[in-house]
Structure 1
Amino acid sequence: MKGTKNLTQGPILKQLFTLAMPIMATSFIQMAYSLTDMAWVGRIGSEAIAAVGSVGILTWMSTSISLLNKVGSEVSVGQAIGAQDEQATRALASHNLTLSLLISLSWGALLFIFATPIISIYELKPHIAEIAVEYLRIIATAFPFVFLSAAFTGIFNAAGRSKIPFSINGIGLIINMILDPVFIFGLNWGTTGAAIATWLAEATVCMLFIYQLKQKKILWDDFRVFTKLKKQYTRHILKIGLPVAALNTLFAFVNMFLGRTATEQGGHLGLMALTTGGQIEAITWNTSQGFSTALSAFVAQNYAARQISRVLKAYRTTLWMTFIFGSFCTFLFIYYGNEIFSIFVPEKAAYETGGVFLRIDGYSQLFMMLEITIQGVFYGMGRTMPPAVISVSCNYLRIPMALLFVSGGWGLPGIWWSISITSTMKGIICLIWFMVIKKKTLNYQAV
């Protein structure tokens, strides 16, 4: 098929690297949107960054919902390509885009209308909450761009063209980096300026994706971006993407609860440490997610083509690559937590509080990368339920565990330990579950 790459033949390591590097770079670019905002807003003060951080949990939830069509595209389109079914490939791509637009409009409107009661969950001081509400309403109107871009990214990843999302998102990041200081300090718009800069960058990214597909015709000569939904394709996409979106969205609800608890224990500094620390942790998360996404696209094509031995070799190769990087990040978080945090928030009380978060969280980094890597194999096989069950169960365990540790007098570190322990559990359980499936299914089919 025009514009797509066949991943069922050729050297596995080279293909994984070629596919994973742009995906990882794209993930880092998307992460850099938030980090750029936080680095500049952090210069305003810890209260401003606490306001932006409270919205960050909601934008994380929104990104989690958009995974329905990002993963839905990567897996459904990838499998259709592997099966050499061009009609299904086109239909599934259009369905993912149409669904992403409908979901984003509904979700964005909900957050815009109910911004004030939603932000009140964190029990912030009134002037901080007011900043957060204004920031959230601006960001919510950009969700159609964000959701569509996620679906576009999934389509290009499934086609083995991961360099295109990297290039497009790179342009968006450059725009955001230029506009942030101009709007925040040059025009003295503060956090509102950061929100507007992100809005313009996200809109540009979405328009560039549409240009690549409709004008340059990168993948197909004649492609309909939006289409009338058909039951068979919609059901297939929801079956694949809904568990992934649900587990990540439920994860965000957990973080909202932990954010409120952190505010109760440490004021705005507690919430700031959780939200900003989570953004910094995204360095390891996005690295492993990049390899996992590449592995998912690789497995989707090879599993559909019954190339099981290539699936197993790709899994082992990816595991080694993430282990090496995870060990490095573990070392940095444990021994240089304060120094890393101070890059984003230079206030002494803020980076000392955040440094404790990174040190405790650092112990779980290898297990987190193990979990996400194995997710890539599950997703590629179309089995999105096992990772969802593991993630939801362990993430919700954080709530009673955090309450137990806090009631025991541990304070903020008790919340951080609940996160670290459950992340470790997820990695171990995910590995055990995969080994069972590997023994029963994949090893047998590889013979």
Structure 2
Amino acid sequence: MDYSKKRDLILNGNMAKVILILSGPIMLNNLIQTIYNLTDTYFVSRLGDLEVNAVGFVWPIIFFMMSIGIGVSIAGTALISQYTGSDDKSDARKVAGQILSFSFIFSIGLGIIGFFITPFIVKTMGAEGEMFRLSVEFLRIILLGMPTMFVFFAFNSIKQGQGDTYTPMIFGALSVGLNIILDPIFIFVLNLGVAGAAIATVLARGIFALYAVYTLFIKKEGIQLHKSDLKLNKTLLQKIISIGLPSSIGQSTTALGFAVLNIFVKSFGASTLTAFIIGNRINSLILMPAMGIGHALSTIVGQNLGADDIKRARKAVKVSTILTTIFLLIGGLIVFILARRIIMIFTDSEEVITQATFYLRVISASLPLMGVFQIFNGTFQGSGHTIMAMSMMTSRLWLFRIPLIILFKNFTNLQERSVWYAMILSNAIVCIIGLILYLSRKWEHKIIKKAPKIR
């Protein structure tokens, strides 16, 4: 890949073209990861419902741990994109080295601690008997393999900061492909059950994570790391952590918020919970373009702020908003019309079909709000002002959605529709907050400007 041409495209090319070129691979990568999750679920489901429940039961813990790595990667993308935009290749390389070293060392410690406290965590969550044993078995292996996950996050952030969203997609696809091959071997041939599924995941991710990192040292295009770049730099690490910590907090509190949200949804009955789960799976597919554009926007905003072209950074936000709205209006219209037929693919329960159809139609009509949320999120993360992004993520669930559900449930006759209307209203409110933060123009101040020269 010619990184100088990619940088020129991001800084000077047609904005719509830039957004689509960068977001396309991200969308495909998200789809690949969805296939990966479905594949794991499929093979584990051959073992039985208990095994599926055990894996699903500990997923919030895994996502909570992942949020820390995601936060560090967001900081890496912001810093590298801004150094790339300012044509400071040396400091971009040093940030890449720190991201890689910190992610690896920290994830080892996190994995070891997690391994020993896993039984306590799973027991506290309420698992007993065989469910407890299977959950602990699966979670321990995943946690010990945490370095492979964090290193992959670091690699992706290094590439995305340079405007390369294609290479992470390729490695992601290869990892998923290997996992599909290894799953049945470890689960059935070697008769390792859920432990086999965890081992297959760690190996598939680990093999390509190691190779991906290896390419950072041998390939001369873009950022080429040297061993000296891996030596921890206190000043730079403090900068990375100060940017990454709010993102980690935002991600982890969101994960916790959705876990609490599920409890409230379940209080309306099993049918409502099923309708909620099915509707969210469909919505996640429709939202992929918006999520892809939001992630691509963080790189575009970062590089243009690094190049001191604030006007073009604003243009990127504007064009991204237009493209996202178009995609979501089209997708939302299709889902609105075909909602009942789509739901019937997943269930034959009339009560679930009725509730899920109403939910899907209401949410599909408000999808552009989620698009705007993704745009503001990408803008604030790319500019490095992650506290703004954190405030949006945490307030959406904890300050608005959950309190609104409690309010509607106890003081109206909306019943299960309390959840659907609370979701729309919370999305609308947080978009207004995002607009206020955007118009404050504080995000336009690049973070590398205040950073001391890295030595």
Other-structure match for 2:311: 309
Q: 1:90 aligns with which of 93, 99, 103?
A: 93
How far does residue 54 in structure 1 lie from its aligned partner after superposition? 2.5
After superposition, residues 157-236 of structure 1 pair within 5 angstroms as 157-184=160-187, 189-224=192-227, 227-236=230-239
How far does residue 340 in structure 1 lie from its aligned partner after superposition? 5.2
Q: 1:16 aligns with which of 11, 19, 28?
A: 19
Are 2:89 and 2:223, in contact at CA under 8 Å, matched by a contact in 1? no
How far does residue 290 in structure 1 lie from its aligned partner after superposition? 1.8
Are 2:92 and 2:223, in contact at CA under 8 Å, matched by a contact in 1? no
SS class of match (1:8): helix
Cα distance between partner residues in 2 of 1:10 and 1:240:
29
How far does residue 311 in structure 1 lie from its aligned partner after superposition? 1.4
Are 1:51 and 1:128, in contact at CA under 8 Å, matched by a contact in 2? yes
Cα distance between partner residues in 2 of 1:141 and 1:350:
42
Q: 1:434 aligns with which of 438, 444, 448?
A: 438
Cα distance between partner residues in 1 of 2:179 and 2:52:
17
The C-alpha deviation readout for 1:157-205, integer Å capped at 9, x for no partner, is 1112221111111101111223334544565554333323222221123
How far does residue 222 in structure 1 lie from its aligned partner after superposition? 4.8
**2:289 partner amino acid:** T
Cα distance between partner residues in 2 of 1:50 and 1:423:
30
Cα distance between partner residues in 2 of 1:31 and 1:225:
37
Flag structure 1 segments of 5+ consecutive residues without an equivalent: 443-447
**2:292 partner amino acid:** G
**2:218 partner amino acid:** Q
Flag structure 2 segments of 5+ consecutive residues without an equivalent: 447-455
Cα distance between partner residues in 1 of 2:262 and 2:440:
36
Q: What RMSD over aligned residues (CA atoms) do the two structures have, in Å?
A: 3.6
Q: Which moved more, 1:397-406 or 1:199-208?
A: 397-406
Are 1:115 and 1:137, in contact at CA under 8 Å, matched by a contact in 2? yes
Cα distance between partner residues in 2 of 1:438 and 1:230:
28
How far does residue 391 in structure 1 lie from its aligned partner after superposition? 1.8
Cα distance between partner residues in 2 of 1:262 and 1:113:
32
Are 1:80 and 1:86, in contact at CA under 8 Å, matched by a contact in 2? yes
The TM-score normalised by the length of structure 2 is: 0.83
Cα distance between partner residues in 1 of 2:228 and 2:239:
18
Matched, 1:384 2:386: yes
How far does residue 133 in structure 1 lie from its aligned partner after superposition? 2.6
Are 2:409 and 2:418, in contact at CA under 8 Å, matched by a contact in 1? yes
Other-structure match for 2:450: none
The C-alpha deviation readout for 1:395-438, integer Å capped at 9, x for no partner, is 21333344445556877665555444423432332134323439
**1:296 partner amino acid:** S
How far does residue 156 in structure 1 lie from its aligned partner after superposition? 0.6
How far does residue 349 in structure 1 lie from its aligned partner after superposition? 9.3
Other-structure match for 2:451: none
How far does residue 78 in structure 1 lie from its aligned partner after superposition? 1.1
How far does residue 76 in structure 1 lie from its aligned partner after superposition? 0.4
**1:230 partner amino acid:** N
Other-structure match for 1:291: 293
How far does residue 53 in structure 1 lie from its aligned partner after superposition? 2.4
How far does residue 216 in structure 1 lie from its aligned partner after superposition? 3.3
Q: Do the aligned partners of residues 123 and 439 (structure 1) sit closer, same or farther apart at CA in structure 2, a change above 3 Å counting?
A: closer
**2:294 partner amino acid:** S
Q: Do the aligned partners of residues 114 and 285 (structure 1) sit closer, same or farther apart at CA in structure 2, a change above 3 Å counting?
A: farther
Cα distance between partner residues in 2 of 1:42 and 1:354:
26
Other-structure match for 1:326: 328
How far does residue 224 in structure 1 lie from its aligned partner after superposition? 3.1
Q: Do the aligned partners of residues 352 and 131 (structure 1) sit closer, same or farther apart at CA in structure 2, a change above 3 Å counting?
A: farther
Are 1:69 and 1:237, in contact at CA under 8 Å, matched by a contact in 2? yes
Other-structure match for 1:239: 242
**1:95 partner amino acid:** Q
Matched, 1:73 2:64: no
Other-structure match for 1:58: 61
Cα distance between partner residues in 2 of 1:80 and 1:239:
17
Cα distance between partner residues in 2 of 1:226 and 1:349:
60
Other-structure match for 1:142: 145
Matched, 1:131 2:134: yes
State, as a whole percentage, how many aligned pairs show the same letter: 28
Are 2:274 and 2:352, in contact at CA under 8 Å, matched by a contact in 1? no
Q: Which moved more, 1:246-255 or 1:121-130?
A: 121-130
How far does residue 306 in structure 1 lie from its aligned partner after superposition? 1.8
The C-alpha deviation readout for 1:356-397, integer Å capped at 9, x for no partner, is 665665454321221111222222222222221122122213
The TM-score normalised by the length of structure 1 is: 0.84
After superposition, residues 14-53 of structure 1 pair within 5 angstroms as 14-42=17-45, 47-53=50-56
SS class of match (1:160): coil
Q: How many residues align?
A: 440
Other-structure match for 1:445: none
Cα distance between partner residues in 2 of 1:437 and 1:252:
29
**1:107 partner amino acid:** L
